[in-house]
Structure formats: C-alpha cells, structure tokens
A and B are shown apart, each in its own frame.
Chain A
Amino acid sequence: MAEEMRIVLRNYGKIDPLKIDDYIAVGGYNALNKARSMKPADLINEVKSSNLRGRGGAGFNCGVKWNFAYMAQADQKYVICNADEGEPGTYKDRLIMEGDPQSLLEGMAICAHAIGATQGFIYCRGEYPSVVKTLNMAIAQATEKGVLGDFSIEVRMGAGAYVCGEETALIESIEGKRGEPRIKPPFPPVVGLWGKPTIVNNVETFANIPAIVEKGAAWYAGIGTPSYPGTKIVTLTGDVVNKTFFEVPTDTTIREVIFDFGGGIPDGKGFKAVQIGGTSGAFIPAANLDTPIGFDAMTEIGAVLGSGAVFVLNDTRDIVDVTARIAKFFAHESCGKCAPCREGTMRMHDLMDKINSGRGKSADVVLLNKLGRVMSYSCLCGLGQAAPAPVMTTIEHFPADYNAKLV
C-alpha cells in the first residue's frame, strides 16, 4: 500500500504549537537563517527549480510568482497568506495553522526576504476564531524572540464570503471593502494590496517553503509526480470509512486515496462517484479512479485537484440531489459583480431544483449544458467559471440519474 509522507505536517501532533521553543528545538527557523544568507535572486531560483506549485488551487509555480514581485520596483511590498479556506470539504490549512503555526510564519518570512517586503498579512476565515488566537499567539512569540527580524505579520479575519478566497477579492477585503474580485491583469505581484506588489500564497504553499530551503530544490523536485512535485494534504468526506486527512506524494492515485487511505466505502456499499477539489470540482466516475492526484493528471481527465478535498458518494446516493445542493451554494456565494455569474448561478440553481423535484424536462438538461458552457468562459473570476463543473460532469457521467427524474 502507498505510504503517507509528511512534509507540511512534519511537526503535526509532535510539538506544542503554542511554544515557539518546541519549534526551534526541532530545527525551526534554521531555514529562514539559511535563506537570509542567500541573495534574494538565488533564493527565488531555488524555489523555482523545486517546481513547487501553489496549493490554493491554481497550481502556479511559486518561485516564478515571487520573481514578478521581486522585479517590481516599489517603496513597499506585501506578503499575504491566503487562509480563507472556504472550499467545502476542506480543512487542511486549519490543520497546519493549529498544529504548526510557526512553520507558516517562517515560510512567509522567507518570502518576505526574497521579494523585499517588511509587512505581511494572514487573511484567516471568520469561521476559525480559535485559529486566529493561535496565530496571534505564535506571532507574539516570534516577535518576542526576534526571529522575524524587521518583518511584521498581522492577522485579518474574513467574515463569511467564499469569494474572498479569490486573491484579488481577498485583497479588497483586507482593504476593508466588499470582497469583489478585480479585473486581471494587472496581477497582485505587480499591483496588489493598496496598489503595491503583493504575493498571495496559500497556507500549505508557505508551509512547504522551510523544508525546501533546508533540504534543497532537487530533493523536493524528486518527490511525487515531476510536473507537480511534493505532497498534498487530502481531506476525506462523504461515504468513506476513514473520514480523516492524509498527506501523500502527488503520484498517489485517487483509488489509493479512497480505498487504501480511506478504507473504502462503508456498510458494504459500492462506489458511485468522487468529487475532488471541493464543491467547484468535477464529479469523477469509477473509470478514472487510477488517475494520480497531481495537478496536470487531474486536468487531463477534465477534473481539478483544487484544495485536495475528496468527497465520496456511494451507489445509493442521489447525485442529482447533491448537485442541486451544490448549485444553491454558488447562487448564494456569487458576489454579483458580473452578470453571467450573478444570473447564471441563479438560473442553474432554479433548473437543478426543477429537475430534482421531478418537474424537469430533457430540454432543461440541454439548457443547463449550454448555460454552463457560456459561464465557463464568460464569468469574470474562477467562482463563476468553475460553478458549472459539478452540474456538467454529473450530466456527462450519470445521465441515467437525470433521466430517472425527468417528466
């Protein structure tokens, strides 16, 4: 059986997260010291050649992104940690922040040295008040010890808006405004928080950084699948025996995640479908279970790795009902800035409800597909672009379930 491999969760459950001395005793802040002895350009090259790609969903090369902010000329630059973690079924960032907050601070401080920033923010979702306390305590300890040098970090709390996980909406929210995405370009590494060059990275991305700096890019690049190396935390929900989390190399297959790590489907039932990447992910049928969870392998089967949430449905589940519930999520979370998403998510929810309650016709299914196609290329941000994926992939892979509910 495939083995778990802990890089970002290397200290999880092993040290007292509220004691910085525990972190330092296991080698914490050695990587930051090493990074500070390097020239920023060399440090960025190291991160670039590790081929670490963002763990927040878009999979962009981390070092390449840092380089944009490094090259930008400005009197102030910012480092932001995206801890909004709103994707349903996902709690990996919470695990890192609860279990090893200093590793996140160290990763951010290394980024600050690389791009030349002195101010950082952690945007933590409002649903995690206890995590906010933990982070503030960790920052106070790091400041008192002086390990962060001239880099200071402030925690800002979200207030229950899924779209604020989108990096430009997040920036708007830190600026104290409604969290509506900006038109890109310009991208945040050039024009970000208060108009200054800004790096936004996910919690899991930052938590990888100290290990990469310490052990080297070549070590990291050799783990998992070459185009998306390293590990990924997966969080298992729905119909699995082990509803828990694992950190696995990125060449682990979906089948291994569900049947080895997850222990399979409980109560002697069969597998129907799995949705990976959170609620905006595609539903994947049994035929694709041998796909590795790496970013590009998932894209090849028309799915996404996203946040690494793994939501399993057994063969007795009503997949049309689940999809209707998901359609409501998007209608609720659309920020309303652009018409294709504001109107489209609402119509999609109406049509799914109509079908789910036994009033739909086959023409409604055709309409859903058409609407979904239009939304996927005309919506302003990733929320509206991804919203049709669960609907369109369930129509594609489970047509019989839809047909059974049509009049």
Chain B
Amino acid sequence: MNYQEILAKYADKPGGMIEAFHAIQEELNYLPEEVIIEAAKVFNKPTAQAYGVATFYSMFSTAKRGKYVIRICESAPCHVAGAAEVVAALEKELGVKMGESTADGLFSLEFTECVGQCQATPVITINGEPYLDVAPAQISGIIAAYK
C-alpha cells in the first residue's frame, strides 16, 4: 500500500493520525516530509500540528532510517547490566555510531528507554522484536540473521 492509501484508511478514525503514522512506518521505516504534509490535509489539521505529532514521539522518525531499526535500552536496569558494552559491540559490528545508519541502508542504531523486558537485561529490539540477556559476544550472530 502507498502512503496515500494508508492515510485514506485512517481518515475517518477520530484521532487516527498516530495510528496512520505507525502503519506508514511499517512500510517506509520513517515519515518523509510529503507524508506529514498529506496527513495534515487528510486529518484536516494545520501542517505544524502534523509535524508536531511526528516529532513528539520517539518511535517516529522524520529522517530516513535503515530497514532494520536496532534499539538499545539504556534505562537504569539495563545500564547496570552492561548496556554500554552491547552498544560498543553493535557500533563495532556495524561500523556506525549510535544515531546513525549503515551505508547499505540495512541497519540503524538508536537508544531507547525501557522496553518492558526487564526480567532479562540488557535488552535490544530489532524492528520491535526483543532480544533478551544480550551479551556483546552474541551481537555478530544476531546481526548475521538480518543480512
């Protein structure tokens, strides 16, 4: 589905802009400028308000992202369980820093706060799928499965 079709699907849902943005990100991984401008029209809101929504929530991105968004939890329980070492392993494996994407457009690295899987810290998620009790040594293997 293209983004116009997705927006049309949610147009009649009261307060549906956030749901529509989720659905568009499922397809595109981010919210391009034309999507935000079109969403404002479809939901009959000022463009500034649509842009305000798109930039308020940390799961939405207005910048292009990789196909697989890897998020590392840095909340206190994951922090003391060694999240920093997992970050270092990911940066080394992918050759990019936190907040960046790989040149092949496959992976992006982002920090997140707690994702609610704190029984098995540290935790990372890849496109929402959680990986538990992650050790730096496992990173290569986890990434390989997405290449």
A residues sitting closer than 8 Å to B (CB atoms) are 85-91, 94, 125-129, 156-162, 173-179, 194, 235, 237-239, 243-245, 275, 279, 309, 311, 313, 317, 322, 325-326, 329, 332-333, 335
A86 to B118: give the CA distance in the assembly, Å.
12
**A contact residues around B53 at 8 Å (CB):** 176-178
- Interface residue B102 (Cβ < 8 Å from any Cβ of A): no
Q: How far is the CB of A67 from chain B (nearest CB, A)?
A: 27
Q: Does B8 contact A (CB under 8 A)?
A: no
A-B contact pairs, 28 of them (CB 8 A): A88-B118, A89-B76, A89-B118, A90-B116, A90-B118, A91-B119, A128-B116, A157-B18, A158-B57, A159-B57, A159-B59, A160-B58, A160-B59, A160-B60, A161-B58, A174-B15, A177-B52, A178-B52, A179-B56, A179-B57, A235-B118, A311-B76, A317-B80, A322-B76, A322-B80, A325-B79, A333-B113, A335-B56
Among A86, A156, A325, A332, contact of B76 (Cβ-Cβ < 8 Å): A325
Complex: A40 Cα to B114 Cα, angstroms: 39
Q: In the docked arrangement, what's the CA distance between A174 and B53, Å? A: 12
Q: How long is the Cα–Cα vector from A86 to B115 in the complex, in angstroms?
A: 8
Given contacts A94-B116, A126-B22, A159-B21, 8 further A-B contacts (CB under 8 A): A87-B114, A89-B77, A91-B116, A156-B19, A160-B60, A174-B15, A178-B56, A245-B119
Q: Which of B120-142 contact A (CB under 8 A)?
A: 120-121, 125, 128
Give the residue name and chain of the A residue nearest to B75 (CB). A88
Interface of A is mostly: loop
Check A91–B117 contact: CB distance below 8 A: yes
Which chain B residues have a beta carbon within 8 Å of chain A's beta carbons? 14-19, 21-22, 43, 49, 52-53, 56-60, 74-77, 79-80, 112-121, 125, 128
Residues of A within 8 A of B114 (CB): 86-90, 279
- The answer to whether B74 touches A237 (Cβ under 8 A) is no
Q: Which residues of B are found within 8 Å of A235, using beta-carbon distances?
A: 118-119
Residues on B with beta carbons closer than 8 Å to the beta carbon of A87? 114
Nearest A residue to B120, CB-CB = A243
Question: Given contacts A157-B18, A178-B52, is CB(A238)–CB(B120) below 8 Å?
Answer: no
When distances are taken between beta carbons in the complex, the residues of chain B under 8 Å from A176 are 14-18, 43, 53
User: Which residues from A are CB-within-8-Å of B115?
Assistant: 127
Top 5 nearest A-B pairs (CB, nearest first) are A176-B15, A159-B57, A88-B75, A88-B114, A160-B59
